[in-house]
Amino acid sequence: MERGYARLEWSVLDWNEPAIGFYKSLGAVQMDEWTVHRLTGDALRTLGEA
């Protein structure tokens, strides 16, 4: 708040109901329209070589 930040965002696994419940109790809102994507292994290497 002192630095003027507008939000705090983090990730939680969709099956982790205890954590989701805790975050909701803090007033956090789940962002359903977002999907996490990840590159690993060969796909990551290919991108790195591009």
Give me the domain span that covers residue 45: 1-50
Q: What is the pLDDT of residue 32?
A: 87
Calpha distance 26→22 (Å, rounded): 7
Q: Is 5 a catalytic residue?
A: no
Question: Over the stretch 1-50, which tens digit does the pLDDT of each residue have?
Answer: 899 999 999 999 999 999 999 999 999 999 989 888 999 999 999 999 98
Q: What is the pLDDT of residue 13?
A: 93
Q: What is the pLDDT of residue 9?
A: 94
Q: Which one of the listed residues 22, 23, 27, 32 is annotated catalytic?
A: 23
Q: How many domains is the chain partitioned into structurally?
A: 1
Cβ burial 24-50 (10 Å sphere, 16+ → b, else e)? eeeeeeeeeeeeeeeeeeeeeeeeeee
